Amino acid sequence: MSYQVNEKGYYGDFGGAFIPEMLYPNVEELRSRYLDIMQEEDFQKEFRQLLKNYVGRPTPLYFAERFSKKYNTKVYLKREDLCHTGAHKVNNTIGQILMAKRLGKNRIIAETGAGQHGVATATVCALMGIECVVYMGEIDIKRQAPNVARMKMLGAKVVPAKSGSRTLKDATNEAIRDWINNPVDTHYIIGSVVGPHPYPDMVARFQSVVSEEVKKQLQEKEGREAPDHVVACVGGGSNAAGLYYHYLDNEKVNIIAVEAAGEGVLTGKSAATSALGREGIIHGSKTLLMQTDDGQITEPYSISAGLDYPGVGPMHANLFRTGRGEFISITDEEAMKAGLDLCKLEGIIPAIETAHALAIFDKRKFEKDEVVVVNLSGRGDKDLNTYIEHFNL
């Protein structure tokens, strides 16, 4: 059994392309060409060159000695926080901007929640000299002012999404509406492994450089390519998809997905999609979705703006349903504590998203000689205000 996408664009029961006809030509063009383009020699050359010289890859696989000692196991951190722009997001935007160029598009749109994907998109558009429009919920614009400024400095136009709940899902709706209105010259850079096929697969492939590097690095350090566990936080799930990718079909590797419980899974203020979601359609994909009994999409909550998406990538929905993945949810409180712990133990300030993944070590035991790789997906600079408020620093 494979956990990769099938030829119809599905991961088990999940995925597909539930898009209005207005988007069909664009999505179909992408679907029919993305694999060929990605396999082209000059595409690979340019992609690899930029990942190396611009993003700063390969990122280190760091053995966290003091952290490991505390939890009596072997923990490696994949240092995506050291990527240019401070998170794994840029792996995907580099890939997609090169894709857009080869599709002959000269205008880029993107959605963003906390602003990380927006910044990563604005960055690559500046790099390539391409027009960039980023949709961001009106509420998020107020909450994430520094990232709004970053995008503007990088030359992007930031458009407030004023519809619905005025957060990430609505920013995504607005980006999709823009794409409907601009069907010829525009490419939509989705920021996670969500959206209609082929987006989840394409984004996963661009992010798969993470596990490609882990395999090599672990071979050098441990004499084996595969760890016992791979751990990542999951909102839409792109950093998780990157870390799991080359281990998906190796069932000896345990996959651990960490979702945001917010104030607690059953408090009504949560983003734990696997626990709270039912099969549904969001942004063109059939997946697990937080919704009312009547099928209206609900607004999730997490202290971390990168994890409060009401759906989850179809790859992950399938990992959950098949039992291939172990899903754990972590509250705001637990994540904040784990984030601060990492600062003190390893001298690394993690993004609050990432801190959720680190918090599982207080909840779940690992054997002493087990190798656990955690995707340290982003750095915490953007979250300083939240840390300051939470801990009265």
Q: Which residues contact another protein (rule: CB under 8 A)? A: 8, 16-22, 24-25, 163-164, 169-170, 173, 176-177, 180-184, 278-284, 289, 291, 293-297
Q: How far is CA 103 from CA 107, 186, 252, in A?
A: 11, 10, 39
Give least dist CB 14 to another protein, A: 13
Return the beta strands (E) in 242-375 as ranges.
254-262, 278-282, 285-289, 325-331, 371-375
Distance CA 40, CA 353 (A): 34
Cis peptide before 198 (omega within 30 of 0): yes
Return the beta strands (E) in 147-192 as ranges.
157-161, 186-189
Retrieve residue 87's tokens: 């998170």
Instruction: For another protein, give the closer residue by CB, 123 or 173.
Output: 173
Q: Which of 74, 89, 337, 382 is catalytic?
A: 89
Instruction: For another protein, give the closer residue by CB, 24 or 54.
Output: 24
Place of tokens 């990542």: 232
| Residue 89 among the catalytic residues | yes
Q: Which of 68, 74, 80, 111 is catalytic?
A: 111
In DSSP terms, which residues pair with 157 in a beta bridge?
A: 133
Q: What is the DSSP letter of 276?
A: H
Instruction: For another protein, give the closer residue by CB, 2 or 181.
Output: 181
| Residue 377 among the catalytic residues | yes
Instruction: For another protein, give the closer residue by CB, 18 or 391.
Output: 18
Greatest extent of the chain over all pairs of C-alpha atoms, in Å: 56
Instruction: For another protein, give the closer residue by CB, 270 or 331.
Output: 270
Retrieve residue 383's tokens: 């979250």
Q: What is the DSSP letter of 191?
A: S
| Residue 208 among the catalytic residues | no
Which residues does the annotation mark as catalytic? Answer: 89, 111, 377
